[in-house]
Amino acid sequence: MNVDKLAPLPAVGELLSRYALFHTEDMDEARRRGADVFCDHRLDFAGSSRAFDARMCFRRLRGIGVGRMTYGGDVAIEPGRLEGFTLVQMPLSGHERIRSGDELIDSHPGVASVISPHRPVSMQHRAGTEKLFIRIDSAVLERHCIQHLGHDLRDPIDFRLDMSLDSTAGQRWMRAVQWLIAEAGQDDESGGAMALSSPLLAAQIEQMLISMLLMCQPNTYSERLRGESPSIAPAFVKRIEQYIEEHADEALTIVDLAEHAGVSSRSLFAGFRRFRDTTPMAYLKEVRLKRVHESLQRACDGNTTVTREALRWGFSHLGHFTAAYKRRFGESPSETLARG
């Protein structure tokens, strides 16, 4: 299976269309039919609008399932704990706010979500949002992880909630997903959808996707899966991450960070590249963007402005700041402030 050479994806409206599961304007029906794929959950309107036009396409493939869905309106989804499966959601359009345990993210076409089964989860699905999703049975995921590690799991597999689709790892994951969707959309004569029914190929696809997720998305066992010692090399990286979190409002340089870590700038760069797939200054920028986002979300009076918060967290070029903010959170800073 060559996932680096992709067949062109069909138009959004045609993705997985041969596997249409339901199309309804009845919320109770959508909840019941959705529960058959996911789990029992609460589904309610999240605003004054009563627009609702739910659609789902879904194909089961051994221990995984691939699908596409939209609710066609502003809705709140409360499944509690997923328990039996891990859910990866990749928005094609729109915006979702997802809380899992203590983590809260804004998911949009640049940021996917990876929801672990052991933490309570809730979602705010905005009108105009449509997404692809991959559902992975917990037992199958754990079995594959055990095979990779060579020993039983001591703790549940817990994934980082947000997946940046602009990162190298995120792009690798999306190539695998796009390959599967493109194959599923092929006519039977070309060996696509019919070939996916082959037990041998289905087993290979299941293994490929699960292995890709375990290696691409940070999780409880990432360091062991890469064959790295979790207690030696990353120590200075974690020290710098904590230092950045505590001093993000200060004028930090790479020299400052290297001196605090007690390593050379070169070693600091190498450590962040190897263990975090980023650079120290890019990590600092990400922390500062999150701080601006949190400040704008908490704004409850007329004294907070986008410019003031941007400058407070070190963003002097407002045009570049706004572009980076929109890529990260799927909306402009002023839109976040308006909802604060």
Annotated domain spans of the chain:
12-225, 235-339
- What's the pLDDT score for residue 7? 42
Q: Indicate if the pLDDT at residue 69 is higher than 80.
A: yes
Instruction: Report the C-alpha gap between 127 and 111 in whole angstroms.
Output: 17
Residue 181, token pair as written in the block: 């969707």
Res. 234 pLDDT band, cuts 50 70 90: low
Q: How far apart are CA 250 and CA 296, in angstroms?
A: 20
Average pLDDT over residues 141-168: 88
- What pLDDT does 205 receive? 86
Closest to 177 measured CA to CA, from 220, 138, 208, 139: 208
The reported pTM is: 0.69
pLDDT band for position 195 (50/70/90)? Answer: low
Bridge partners of 91?
131
> What is the CATH number that goes with domain 12-225?
2.60.120.10
- Residue range 143-159: mean pLDDT, rounded: 84
The answer to whether the beta carbons of residues 281 and 241 sit under 8 Å apart is no
Q: What is the pLDDT of residue 158?
A: 94
Report which of 93, 197, 200, 180 is spatially closest to residue 135, judged by C-alpha positions.
180
Local structure of 250: helix, strand or coil: coil
Residue burial 18-38, b: 16+ Cβ < 10 Å; e: rest: ebebbebeebeebbebbeebb
Q: State residue 340's pLDDT score.
A: 64
Quote the pLDDT of residue 197. Answer: 64
User: Rounded to 5 degrees, what are φ and ψ at 237?
Assistant: -65, -45
The mean-pLDDT minimum among 51-55, 248-252, 270-274 falls in: 270-274
The mean pLDDT value for 151-174 works out to 90
Q: Over range 327-336, report the average pLDDT.
A: 84
**Mean per-residue pLDDT for 189-207?**
67
> Is pLDDT at 186 greater than 70 in this prediction?
no
pLDDT category at 32 given cuts 50, 70, 90 is very high
Question: What is the C-alpha to C-alpha distance for residues 31 and 41, in angstroms, rounded to an integer?
Answer: 7
The predicted pLDDT at position 25 comes to: 96
| Sign, CA torsion 191/193/198/203 | positive
Q: What 3-state class would DSSP assign to 120?
A: coil
Q: How confident is residue 187, by pLDDT bands cut at 50, 70 and 90?
A: very low
Beta bridge partners of 131: 69, 91
The predicted pLDDT at position 9 comes to: 47
Amino acid identity at 245: E
The pLDDT assigned to 6 comes to 41
Q: Does the structure show a pLDDT above 80 at 11?
A: no
What pLDDT, on the 0 to 100 scale, is given for residue 338?
84
Residue 12 has pLDDT above 60, yes or no: no
User: Residue 169 forms beta bridges with which residues?
Assistant: none
Q: Which of 38-42, 47-51, 134-138 has the lowest mean pLDDT?
A: 47-51
Tell me what the pLDDT averaged over the chain comes to: 86
pLDDT on residue 30: 96
Q: Which CATH number fits domain 235-339: 1.10.10.60, 3.30.70.270, 3.40.1010.10, 3.40.50.150?
A: 1.10.10.60
pLDDT at 264 > cutoff 70: yes
Identity of residue 201: L
pLDDT tops 50 at residue 71: yes
At 288, give phi and psi (nearest 5°). -65, -40
pLDDT surpassing 70 at residue 237: yes
Q: Are 23 and 40 in contact (CB under 8 A)?
A: no
- Identify the weakest region by mean pLDDT among 89-93, 150-154, 182-186: 182-186
